[in-house]
Amino acid sequence: MAEGIVSLVLGKLSDAVIKDVLLLHGVGKQVERLSRELSWIQSFLKDADMKHIINEREKHWVNEVRDIAYDIEDVIDNAIFLKVPENPARGYSRIVGAAKRMWRKSKKLPALHNLADEMNEILARIREINDSRERYGINSLGEGSGVQPRLPIRPPVLPKIDDPNVVGFDHDRDNIVNLLLDTSIKRRAVISIVGPGGLGKTTLARKVYNSNDVKRQFDVCIWVTISQEFKLMDILKKIIEQVEPLPPNDVEGGEEYLLTKLYKTLNGQKYTLEYHLRPNSHDPQASTKPQPKKYLLILDDMWRGDLWIKIGEVLLDVGIGSRVLVTTRIQNIIDDAEPYKLPYLTEKPSLELLLKKALPNRDLSKGFPDELYEVGKQFAKKCGGLPLALLVLGGLLSKKPANYVAWSKMLQTMNWGTDGKDCTEIMATSYDDLPFVLKSCFMYFAAFPEDHEINAKNLLMLWVAEGFIPAEESRTFEDTAESFLEELVQRSLVQVLHRDTDDSITYCRIHDLLRELAILKAKEDNFITICSNPDNWKSSAKARRVAVHYSGCSELMEHANPNLRSLVCFEDTMPNCSRQRLLKVLHHKAPSVDFECFHGLNQLRYCELIGTLSSNRISFESFIRGLKFVETLNFYQLQDHGDLHDDIWNVKTLRHVMLNYMDYTAGPSSSADLKNLQTLRGVKCRESWNAQLPKLPNLRDLDIKVENSFSWDVMAKLLDTLNHLTRLYLHGSEVPQTIVEMQRFPFYQHLQSLMLREESSSLNNKLSLEVRMFPIHVTVLQLYDLQFKEDPLPVLEKLRSLRLLLLEGEVNRKMSCSDGGFQQLHDLCFRSLTNLEEWEIKAGAMPILNNVYLFDCDKLRVPLGLQYLSNLKQLNIISCTELNEHKDEIRNICKHVPEIEIL
């Protein structure tokens, strides 16, 4: 993967700002020579990458190139660091401040003098490795064209072949469902699905979990994924939270308290931290007979039996007929479990799964293509019935020409055995086949903990900040990054957990076997160091990227690491990073965030912090003012951050600013010229914009609060300048009719997600709705506390692209959905509709609706026409007084709905 870092360095050397910095240091000629040499080496490495080098001498040469590229990056970063002035501490006089700046400049002079020497030394090393390449006969690597196919702007969303309902396991699902529902077994029973990695244990368990028969049989169904390095506290919290909400302070009692709370909760008893600490206090439900819950608990991917010893003992006598389903690679992980050994797929379903993935655009319902049938069988045989191997190999084949010659040629290169009990070779082959630009993106998944649900938007921004994404004409970096993620998904190297209404990926994960491959490749290429236990700290001393999965992170930061560029930490610790002056990527969470620990990190490109800001506002302001090159500022989960210093709005590189919407800091200054800014969330409209508007020509995503009626005029002026908005969330008091009429704004044709929130208590601001007001392509519409003169549904149901609708507030007493209305609606949520009494659903309305959520609609009677929602998968009714009294009637009407929750 030396090509990736070489490409990154070349991009830096061509950057106008960096070139100016280097010219000031008098190394312009060296920069030109470096660029020429590296461009030649890059072409050579592309060819080497396409030929999948295996020779040890060649690997050694490529590693030397990588090390030189890293050294060039260090020189560039140090040059920039020396140029960027540090912010003087507040309270110093001008004279003292000037004296300090002169002192710092004198300290930097030796480093500035050495810059040219370092450049000349690197050029000499490049000449030396070029000589060694010829000396050891490595020329043959560069005979290819070096051209790799350009990835599409937005690949089409292909059939979800890893969907549990697509192929296989129907017989096994029925067997396990019958075991779970066996009424002759009154005691709690444990079943373990056993098999090697990649066999489909989780897929089968998910099929069982989603079974209509199973959903109806149990009072509560709980799913928890167990990683190899689990924490019992985390597992207990995840289980309890799926039974009832867990207050934040409830974790203070520790493991013993959570174990007891789990027992009491499933037994239908209330149990609080106060009662735990004072056990002699009166139990508020002591006089009420508890109603034990019959539960199904699924523990996915269990590696150690000690977890079950603690949980199993607590749940032994809870809920007659309760069941536990475990997926594991270990045969006898639970002594009293009935093992179900999952078989490998047979030839026919194996071939079916392979070809569905390899030929996503072909209709295979009438049989397999004759010319590919026999060679397809040979491919399937090599996978040995492992679904993961079939999916990965199918994803690889989908990138090849769909003809006999191309497939046969590829089959000849697969020189491993045909027992198929291990998909390591297939996964490695798929990785080798990746274009070089995708290999860094794949290896980056090694940074995330096992089974971690990854926020896709944040992942794409991380890739951009790391420099993995090449610049392409007419495309943003984020668009290119999104196409890279879709490519990895189509190759079955990444799993999609959830897609947004526009089909973009919102959450994803990586199978643990593929994660092991990513870790292996990352280690081979010195790409990232994973710190999951104390033994890893020494190996991270010179690492360029570090991912922390262990609570001892502060130990790692005790000494300066001049090589460290990225730190992603998934533990609640607060390390002092101020010594890591060239850090570019920082993702961290801690209960209390102290910005003294981040002093001097002026080189940051990506900063995501989670926690509560400590009281030291001066350190926070100093940190913000020091960010000269930041691209992503993600404070979405940073509480109490307050206003940002205005200096941040002068940073030209800003691309994404996401602030905590509870704080709503002041937005960009009037003079801000943020040509690269695409995301701006959690800010307030400034009245100063009335005189001059900030320039935000490429803004796509805006979440903003308007604090008074005067500011709505200012807000309208700002919206008149935005041409590319696709997501708009507006909060404010007395939302005017002119704002609701979206057709007046230039982004009308592009807007896909719209939220309007009325925050005043006035009932005099009633709005009239017309279809033309809303963007024709809107897929998400959320309307909070808006007052409508008439029933809004007859208007909203005509929005043909709408997929999610949320209404909250005092709407009309009666609402109705017409035949043919809401043709594309998937999700519908009514929340706190305090006036609503009648809701009528006509036959033919909402034909593909999947989910209905009703919250705090106290007066609402049983809706007329629920039986017409034939595709409804989930019905949630929470805190609806009238509906709660008709639970049995609702369940009888909605027998076709797999999941019904009425609380």
Token output for 769: 């709705």
- Indicate the pairing of strand 838-841 with strand 827-831: unpaired
Q: Are the CB atoms for 821 and 793 separated by under 8 Å? A: yes
CA-CA distance, 498 to 485, in Å (whole number)?
Answer: 13
Q: What is the 3-state secondary structure (H, E, C) of 146-176?
A: CCCCCCCCCCCCCCCCCCCCCCCCHHHHHHH
Element (H, E) at 351: helix 347-358
Measured distance between the N- and C-terminal CA atoms of the chain, rounded to whole angstroms: 54
Show the tokens assigned to 335.
């002594």
Tokens of 746: 């230039």
Radius of gyration of the chain (CA): 30
Tokens of 652: 């030209």
CA 200/CA 202 separation, integer angstroms: 6
Among the residue ranges 29-38, 399-408, 758-767, 832-841, the one predicted with the least confidence is 758-767
User: Which residues are within 8 A (CB) of 446 and not within 5 positions of it... i.e. 6 or more apart?
Assistant: 515, 518, 519, 521, 522, 527, 528, 530, 547
**Cα→Cα distances 719→90, 238, 653, 733, 773, Å:** 37, 42, 22, 17, 15
Amino acid identity, residue 665?
T
For the cut 90, the answer to whether the pLDDT of residue 657 exceeds it is yes
pLDDT band at 144 (very low <50, low <70, confident <90, very high): very low
Q: Which pLDDT does position 101 carry in this prediction?
A: 43
170-341 CATH fold: Rossmann fold (3.40.50)
Residue 41 banded pLDDT, cuts 50, 70, 90? confident
3-state secondary structure of 857: coil
In sign, the C-alpha dihedral spanning 595, 597, 602, 606 is negative
Residues in the chain: 903
How far apart, in whole angstroms, are the C-alpha atoms of residue 486 and residue 488?
A: 5
Q: Which residues contact 468 (CB under 8 A, 6 or more apart)?
A: 4, 8, 437, 440, 441, 444, 481
Cα 890 from Cα 334, distance rounded (Å): 40
Tokens matching residue 293: 């819950």
Mean pLDDT of 399-421: 78
Token code pair at residue 244: 């009832």
457-489 tens-digit pLDDT: 999 999 999 989 988 888 899 999 999 999 999
Residue 544 and residue 229 in contact, taking contact as beta carbons nearer than 8 Å? no
Q: Distance between CA 714 and CA 701 in Å, rounded?
A: 18
- 25-46: average pLDDT: 75
Q: What integer pLDDT is reported at residue 784 of this predicted model?
A: 92
- Cα separation, 16 vs 348, in Å, equals 58
The better pLDDT of the pair 851, 184 is held by 851
Q: Report residue 219: phi and psi, to 5°.
A: -70, -35
Residue from 686, 657, 684 nearest 759 by CA: 684
Task: Of 304, 325, 322, 292, give the one whose Cα is nearest residue 232.
Answer: 304
571 or 610: whose pLDDT is higher? 610
Please tell me the predicted confidence (pLDDT) of residue 543: 80
| Residues 659-683 as b or e (16 or more Cβ within 10 Å = b) | bbeebbbebbbeebebebbbbbbbb
Question: Does the pLDDT at position 745 exceed 90?
Answer: yes
Average pLDDT value for residue range 152-169: 49
Distances (CA, A) of 671 to 629, 694, 793: 18, 6, 42
| Position 554 pLDDT exceeds 80 | no
% of the chain at pLDDT higher than 70: 83
Virtual torsion, Cα 10, 12, 13, 19, nearest 10 deg: 170
Report, as an integer, the average pLDDT of 437-445.
Answer: 93
pLDDT at 146 over 50: no
The lowest-confidence range among 12-21, 762-771, 852-861, 868-877 is 12-21
Beta-bridged to residue 300, according to DSSP, are: 225
Per-residue pLDDT reduced to its tens digit, 213-248:
888 888 889 999 988 878 888 888 888 888 887 776
User: Residue ranges per domain, the chain?
Assistant: 2-143, 170-341
Q: What is the pLDDT of residues 185-216, one digit of tens each?
A: 888 889 999 999 889 899 899 989 888 788 88
Q: What percent of the chain has pLDDT over 90?
A: 37
Confirm if 350 and 376 have CB atoms less than 8 A apart: no
**Structure tokens that stand for 317 in this block:** 């006598």
Rounded-to-integer distance, Cα 760 and Cα 585, Å: 40
Cα within 13 Å of Cα(97), Cβ side: 10
Q: What is the pLDDT of residue 519?
A: 93
Using the predicted structure, report yes or no on whether residue 286 has a pLDDT greater than 90.
no
Task: Quote the CA–CA distance of 55 and 776 in Å, as a whole number.
Answer: 58
- Mean pLDDT, range 436-440, rounded to an integer: 88
